[in-house]
């Protein structure tokens, strides 16, 4: 009789561990935002990288994530964008991701968005940057896994 209980208890334990490992294997490691800033000194003359958003995390990314960004300048110019953030193959220990702000231009951007970015999205003229990180591209009203507002940059 005692043997049957031990056997059932072991089976239950093994099943529980198996189920927990299946569910925990599906989620990504949590990420924590450390900083975000507009960088304007990376361009080497092409004009395509004169406005870059630098997003830094507490730890380097170890998986692919999705992000949304809202940049608001002191003149109330609002630039929104989104996209994928991947681990850096060439520099896996780097905690920062660089995103060309011009790639955030989309069909709902303000008219003349490229010129607005060039004229107003500059270091020292940013009222706030909202950065939201998701496990994958949100389909509806999913909540971000990490979110932070950076002010007066």
- Give yes or no for a contact between 52 and 100, defined as CB atoms under 8 angstroms apart: yes
CA distance 130 to 88: 22
Task: Note the pLDDT tens digit of each residue in 16-48.
Answer: 434 343 444 457 889 999 999 999 877 666 667
Q: What angle do CA 98, 100, 102 make, to 5 degrees?
A: 160
Name the architecture of domain 28-151.
Sandwich (2.60)
Q: At 1, is the pLDDT very low, low, confident or very high (cuts 50, 70, 90)? A: low
Report the chain's mean pLDDT, rounded to a whole number: 85
To the nearest whole percent, how much of the chain has pLDDT over 70? 80
Give the pTM. Answer: 0.79
- Each domain of the chain, given as residue ranges in start order, spans 28-151
Which pLDDT score is estimated for 43?
66
pLDDT at 14: 44
Q: What tokens appear for 42 in the block?
A: 């990376």
Predicted confidence at residue 4, as pLDDT, reads 55
pLDDT value, residue 51 = 92
Q: What distances in angstroms separate CA 53 from CA 12, 80, 127, 129, 153, one per listed residue?
A: 50, 12, 14, 10, 12
Return the pLDDT at 31. Answer: 95
């Amino acid at each position: 009789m005692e043997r049957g209980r031990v056997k059932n208890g072991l089976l239950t334990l093994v099943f529980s561990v198996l189920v927990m490992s299946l569910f925990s294997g599906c989620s990504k490691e949590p990420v924590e935002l450390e900083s975000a800033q507009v960088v304007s000194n990376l361009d080497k003359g092409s004009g395509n990288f004169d406005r870059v958003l630098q997003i830094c995390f507490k730890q380097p990314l170890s998986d692919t994530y999705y992000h949304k960004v809202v940049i608001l300048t002191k003149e109330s110019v609002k630039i929104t964008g989104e996209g994928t953030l991947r681990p850096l193959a060439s520099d896996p220990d780097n905690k920062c991701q660089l995103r060309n702000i011009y790639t955030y231009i989309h069909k709902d951007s303000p008219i003349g968005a490229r010129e607005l970015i060039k004229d107003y999205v500059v270091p020292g003229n940013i009222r706030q940057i909202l950065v939201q990180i998701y496990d994958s591209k949100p389909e509806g009203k999913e909540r971000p896994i990490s979110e932070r507002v950076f002010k007066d940059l």
